[in-house]
Structure 1
Amino acid sequence: MPTLATKSSPDSAEAIERAEVAVLPTGSTEQHGPALPLGMDHYAARAFAQEAATDDAVLALPTIPVGVSPHHMQFDGSLTVSPETFAAYVRETIESLATHGLRKVIVVNGHGGNIDALSQVARELRASETAYAPTWNWWDAVEDLADDLFDEAGGHADAAESSLVWHLHEEYVDPDALEAAEADGADAWGERVHGANVGFDTIDFTESGAVGKPTQASPEKGEQLFDEAATALSALADWLAERPIDDCWQRAHK
């Protein structure tokens, strides 16, 4: 598959010239309860990006593995950077690619905490007409399927995430710990009092770090989720590849 990091400098020039769209995986390295690996989010993003890069039209960029995760820092092993640092890293990575001529990028995101920063980056890159870089979150692409497969509100290290990473990296999942993750977890994200969210950190509402019903997970369900989301990402890449770059910029009000 066309992956920028595996190319030599001369070969990368040819790959960038052939490509219509780049995919940039972003995620996190943070707690996902006692059953799942810290790298869940960036493993998922990388897998989707690599699956999308099946021909010369889509070029996969290296994965950004640490994201905006301050709300998980009470749990061992979690890493985080500030939204400003994360946004600058993503923006400058895309800017550097744009200098070589590839200006359409899909940010394949695996972590909800990154969304605000990525939205800011996308607006800035578009306003300057440097690059067009919408964010794609895999869970948005499988919302209906997840509703059919699982009986949960979802949130974090839930049945959907557990199933997906179980399918992608069985060797990193401890199925025997899924029951404890659920028993000491929460049914839904956050904690609300009289309409206000008072659960600022994950530890405020879940002892295990999990939110949802991870005992409903299976690798077979994970394969269904992966296939559904990968199909959606491929369709998005096709759409963006066919869209002229001039049609991606901000329009003046008439």
Structure 2
Amino acid sequence: MPPLAEHTTTTAADALEDAEVAVIPTGSTEQHGPALALGMDHMAAEAFARTASDRDDAVVLPTVPVGVSEHHRQFDGTLYVTEETFERYVGETISSLAEHGVRKAVVVNGHGGNSSALRRAARTLREDRTAFAPPWNWWDSVEDLADDLFDEEGGHADAMESSLLWHLREDLVDPDALEAAEAGASEAWGETVHGAALGFDTIDFSESGAVGRPTQADPEKGAQVFDAARDHLHALLDWLAERPLEDCWAREHK
């Protein structure tokens, strides 16, 4: 069915009655080094979520484009909100949807910094029996494939992210800047000294803002990543659509 924002209030009534599950894309608007657009994360999340528009049992909600990105704040263009604000915003959005009868959702997340807030929001919604809304990080579903395609630990604006955006929006990737991104990148996320994590902000360990080896980026590999992650998303949607709501709630103490 068409995304919710493209319905009128009249047609939305029928769409929401038919929907078993909602799909909510969340991401960020933040630096992704010199080669990738600031909107990488929310654009990826929206692309995955939009594939659910082909389903009769799912309704796609508008994208949440700004997330928990304070750790990128020293790089130009980065926007961010606090974890508390993000958690409440997403939670209250899902609560408002539940008033219309759709109480199962998948939060399609494109930004790792959102993960903790989304888990807390999902726990609160379930504890209150308002809605069941597990977050889904696209990169977690393709770890094995990424290991086969790329030689990197990665983490941000790396080969996998660069490949995915190159596949989705060729116009928003600057291939000539991938070498500069890698030259100033760190091999892995963060910095540790004698077991203490000291890399609080990205700039503490990455001069370019990238983490990984973006020069390995390839749009054909990005297509493979997209197709594989999309298939996992739809398998999750199938599972959730078929799952009775009563089976989604927390188990009671005996």
Same fold (TM over 0.5): yes
- The separation in 2 between residues aligned to 1:68 and 1:165, in whole angstroms, is 20
Aligned equivalent of 1:158: 158
Aligned equivalent of 1:186: 186
| SS, match of residue 53 in structure 1 | helix
- The separation in 2 between residues aligned to 1:179 and 1:57, in whole angstroms, is 44
Q: How does 1:94-109 map to 2 (within 5 A)?
A: 94-109=94-109
CA offsets 1:8-32 (integer angstroms, 9 cap, x no match): 0010111111111100000000000
CA offsets 1:49-87 (integer angstroms, 9 cap, x no match): 001231211110000000000000000000000011101
- The separation in 2 between residues aligned to 1:230 and 1:77, in whole angstroms, is 29
Which structure 2 segments of 5+ residues have no match?
A: none
Where has structure 1 moved over 4 Å in runs of 4 or more? none
Q: Which amino acid aligns with 2:249?
A: W
- The separation in 2 between residues aligned to 1:131 and 1:241, in whole angstroms, is 13
- The separation in 1 between residues aligned to 2:137 and 2:54, in whole angstroms, is 19
Q: Which moved more, 1:178-187 or 1:49-58?
A: 49-58
Give the length in aligned residue pairs.
254
- The separation in 2 between residues aligned to 1:57 and 1:157, in whole angstroms, is 34
Give me the CA root mean square deviation. 0.6
| SS, match of residue 148 in structure 1 | helix
TM-score (norm 2): 0.99
CA offsets 1:135-164 (integer angstroms, 9 cap, x no match): 000000110000000000011000000000
- The separation in 2 between residues aligned to 1:17 and 1:218, in whole angstroms, is 42
- The separation in 2 between residues aligned to 1:210 and 1:83, in whole angstroms, is 23
- The separation in 2 between residues aligned to 1:87 and 1:10, in whole angstroms, is 30
Percent identical residues: 69
CA offsets 1:108-148 (integer angstroms, 9 cap, x no match): 00000000000000000000000000000000011000000
TM-score (norm 1): 0.99
Q: Which amino acid aligns with 2:201?
A: D
Aligned equivalent of 2:8: 8
User: Do the aligned residues in 2 keep the contact of 1:52 with 1:230 (CA within 8 Å)?
Assistant: no
Q: How does 1:232-251 map to 2 (within 5 A)?
A: 232-251=232-251
Aligned equivalent of 2:76: 76
- The separation in 1 between residues aligned to 2:55 and 2:243, in whole angstroms, is 18
| SS, match of residue 80 in structure 2 | coil
Offset of residue 91 of structure 1: 0.5
Q: Which amino acid aligns with 2:224?
A: Q
- The separation in 1 between residues aligned to 2:253 and 2:224, in whole angstroms, is 43
- The separation in 2 between residues aligned to 1:249 and 1:2, in whole angstroms, is 29
Aligned equivalent of 2:206: 206
Which structure 1 segments of 5+ residues have no match?
A: none
